[in-house]
Structure 1
Amino acid sequence: MGTADVIPGISSGTIALLTGIYTQLLGAIHSFNKTAFYLFRTCKWKLFWHHIHGNFLLPLGLGITVSLLTTVRLVRYLLAEHPIEIWSFFWGLSIISSIVVYQQIKRISLLTLLLSSIGAFLAYYITQITPLTSSNALWFIFIAGGIAMCAMILPGISGSFILLILGKYAYMLEALEKFDWPILTVFLLGGLLGLLTFSKFIFLLLRTYTGYTIALLAGFMLGSIPKTWPWKALVPAVNTANSIMVEKNISPMDFQVVYQKDPHILQAFLCISLGCLVVIMLKKLGGRKHI
């Protein structure tokens, strides 16, 4: 999940879905309520730890933290030096992930199809928004953290891509690499607020309208697939005053014509296959659990 958080286009919520811990994760976050505050304030540590699912959150949090700190440079290197291969891997991962989640919908109805279509449209629309230029003020960092964390908990919508849209992706990666604690602290506080409020909403939806919520989440994943397409070209953004360049999906043949470079079709196919294999392995590691 930590590695997924670094990639614009891949959601840590997707990884949680595939490994069968999504509902458990939302439930653990949902447990940070008045009861948890009371147990903490009265120093009832054992009850507090049990109430917040500490035995689940501690190893998960450590894994995410270690992964973030150790893979951020590697991911940036791969995206810069081997973009076709790394995006092919994530494209394969996204395709199979969507199929796996759709398989968890027990009963297909007109409403589930409608919700899935809405989710796909929203995710696709979000991934097509032109990146903005933004302030480095702490108040904006706080808001960016809240919005990005809400996206991270949703399968298919990447928190990293939300930061890219808000013009804060490179800025926050640099802060993470340099351990700029004032910036990171403000960002995490905003993220914590967004996570606690939004995750409770999703948790209640899953408990009350399970099938419909899964259909919506699966739609989010489906709509985000075009973002991970391996072959892209930079084109001027439409209807913008500034000369902002955005990515446009193109075919491997067009990529070769535009950039006069080998489109690495064989390598891409192998990486797509590897992405599919990783999803299958994650599914097996997660057992036959539902979300």
Structure 2
Amino acid sequence: MNMTRLFRSRYLGVAARGMAMGAADVVPGVSGGTIAFITGIYTELLDSISRIGPHCITVLRRHGIAVTWQYINGNFLLALFCGILFSIFTLARVIGHLLETYPIVLWAFFFGLVLASAVPILRSIPRWSGSVVLFLLAGAAMAVLISELRPGQVPATPLTLFLSGALAICAMILPGISGSFILLLIGIYPRVLAAVHELQLLNLLCFAAGAATGLLMFSRLLSWLMHRYIARSLAFLAGILLGSLKIIWPWKLPLVGIAGDGDKLAPLMSNASPQGYEAHTGDSAYLAAALAAAVAAATLVLSVDYLGRRHRALHSQCANSQRITQDR
């Protein structure tokens, strides 16, 4: 009974992480990969997805469905993606409403979330060297460069939706680079969001097929890098997170001469100080509320990180105790 209860709580927790990832992925500027890293499932996610491929057919023929499901960590993936899909289909409208109604407070929350997320990643780097620092700077430069790109316009055809899904999922799985932000840059984000709201099945299937293809290919590369070059990979991911803070800075002003200046989404806006925002718009900067939201988000991330490290330490201690008992 205890094992059954533990099994259920484990995958309920995974589903909850999936819901948080789905909510983050809806926001153009926040990555679901960031949530996966914060909650300690990033490496397991990459490893599990990277096992899906043609070789699974060989495992299936030789050992059957149960062994194949266990091989790809099927329970973990099922719980996680159920949480992501549930969140996307139920929270997309809520997140959109919050972006329109309380943009500063919401962006401040995500700013604190992403800033604090860099702490556990930097702490996880096993060793520092000149090349590791260079990868950290390269990741930050990449995120800043992406933030300087301006939106384009791509027609919503089955092919473009497929390619957009593949591109978005590659960004989505990277902490700090938002898949929905990339969709916004190429001008197809409103069409994807409309397809979700209106259940346009053909468009959703094309987009999902592209996302699945991109996920299977890119996750293998990331998993390989995380196992072979962990210090440089973590430094690069931390750099992307820190560089992406430019994208999600809460106080933004319309860019002069850009179509759609009034949009509150990051690619169409330039960063400003809270005082500059108030002087330019005449609106309140909601500084106290924004600071409270950022501090609450940072506290949440650091608390989750602390509890995760404590849990891993206790688990390791119990494993060592069992090993010593068996040796006796």
More helix by share: 2
Match of 1:220 among 231, 237, 240: 240
Indicate whether 1:177 and 2:197 are aligned: yes
Report the counterpart of residue 4 of structure 2 in structure 1: none
Helix, strand or coil at the partner of 2:236: helix
Determine which structure has more spread, i.e. the larger CA radius of gyration.
Answer: 2
Query: Are residue 94 (structure 1) and residue 114 (structure 2) matched?
Result: yes
* Native 8 Å contact 1:156 1:220 kept in 2: yes
CA contact (8 A) 1:122 1:223 kept: yes
Return the alpha-carbon distance in structure 2 between the equivalents of residues 174 and 286 of structure 1: 37
Q: Are the counterparts in 2 of residues 236 and 244 from structure 1 also a CA contact under 8 Å?
A: no
Does the 8 A contact of 1:89 with 1:274 survive in 2? yes
Deviation at residue 282 of structure 1 after TM alignment: 2.8
- Alpha-carbon distance in structure 2 between the residues aligned to 1:123 and 1:133: 21
TM-score by length of 1: 0.94
- % same residue: 36
Which stretch shifts more, 252-261 or 37-46? 37-46
Larger mean CA deviation between 38-47 and 149-158 belongs to 38-47
Tell me which residue corresponds to 1:282.
Answer: 304
Identify the match of residue 26 of structure 1 among 40, 46, 59: 46
Query: Does residue 137 of structure 2 align to residue 117 of structure 1?
Result: yes
Aligned equivalents of 2:155, 2:247: Cα separation in 1: 25
Between 219-228 and 273-282, report the one with greater CA deviation. Answer: 273-282
State the distance in 1 between where 2:81 and 2:51 align: 16
Counterpart of 1:249 in structure 2: which amino acid?
A: N
- Long gaps (5+) in structure 2: 1-20, 262-267, 314-328
The residue type paired with residue 224 of structure 2 is L
Q: How far 1:284 sits from its partner (Å)?
A: 4.0
Offset of residue 106 of structure 1 = 2.1
Q: Which amino acid aligns with 1:176?
A: V
Q: Deviations over 1:84-142 (max 9, x none)?
A: 11001001111111122111112221110000100110011112210111111111111
- Does the C-alpha gap of structure 1 residues 52 and 169 become closer, same or farther in structure 2, counting only changes over 3 Å? same
Report the Cα offset of residue 213 of structure 1: 0.7
Q: What's the counterpart of residue 216 of structure 2?
A: 196
CA positional deviation for 1:37? 2.5
Q: Structure 1: which amino acid aligns with 2:115?
A: I
Q: Taking structure 2 as the reference length, what is the TM-score of the superposition?
A: 0.83
Give SS of 1:236's match.
coil
| Alignment gaps of 5+ in structure 1 | none
SS of 1:276's equivalent in the other structure is helix
After TM superposition, give the deviation of residue 283 of structure 1 in Å. Answer: 1.8
Aligned pairs, how many? 286
**One-letter code aligned to 2:37:** L
How far apart in 2 are the matches of 1:262 and 1:207? 48
CA offsets 1:26-75 (integer angstroms, 9 cap, x no match): 01001112221234467921011111101211111111111111111110
**Cα distance in 2 for residues equivalent to 1:134 and 1:111:** 38
Partner of 1:233: 253
Letter in 1 for 2:139: G
The residue aligned with 2:92 is 72
2:159 to 139, 150, 164: 139
Paired residue secondary structure (1:248): strand
Is 1:187 the counterpart of 2:220 in the alignment?
no
Residue 207 (structure 1) shift = 0.8
Change (3 A) 1:127 1:41: farther
Separation in structure 1 between the aligned mates of residue 214 and residue 96 of structure 2, nearest angstrom = 26
Distance across 2 between alignment mates of 1:8 and 1:226: 13
Matched-pair contact (CA < 8 Å) for 1:19–1:285: no
Question: How far 1:177 sits from its partner (Å)?
Answer: 1.1
What residue number does 1:58 align with? 78
